Amino acid sequence: MELPLTELRNGETGVITSTDRSSESQQMRRHRAGKGWGKHFMTARCVKRLTDLGLTPGTNVTVVKSAPFNGPVEVCVRGSRLAIGRGMASRILVDVER
């Protein structure tokens, strides 16, 4: 099942399928969180930043902690822990088996 990273619970692991929302269905777009123009598309700069952090398709990612009140999401990727803003994390799609 493909979900945004923000939908995973603490301790859940998934495989990143996409960091670009251009191929996403219309129904999934309406489901996203985010502010301003960012909720409609992910800029090439954001995609590059995620790639630089190691968040690329096919990579395993584990949610360590999701902060309350729409705070950042702490994830473990390739042995490193990263904090990602919830708006950007909502645009990262992961495949999870539930």
pTM of the model: 0.75
Q: Is 20 left (phi over 0), alpha (psi -120 to 50) or beta?
A: beta
Residues whose CB is less than 8 angstroms from the CB of residue 54 and which lie 6 or more positions away in sequence, other chains included: 77, 78, 80
Number of domains in the chain: 1
Q: Which of these, 30, 48, 81, 52, lies nearest to 72 by C-alpha position?
A: 81
How much is the pLDDT for 9? 94
Q: Which of these, 26, 12, 2, lies nearest to 92 by C-alpha position?
A: 2
The boundaries of the domain holding residue 25 are: 2-95
Check which CATH number belongs to the domain holding 50 and give it.
Answer: 2.30.30.90
**Helix residue ranges, H only, 1-98:** 26-31, 44-52, 86-89
The string of pLDDT tens digits covering residues 26-74 is 444 444 444 544 444 567 888 888 889 999 999 999 999 999 888 999 9
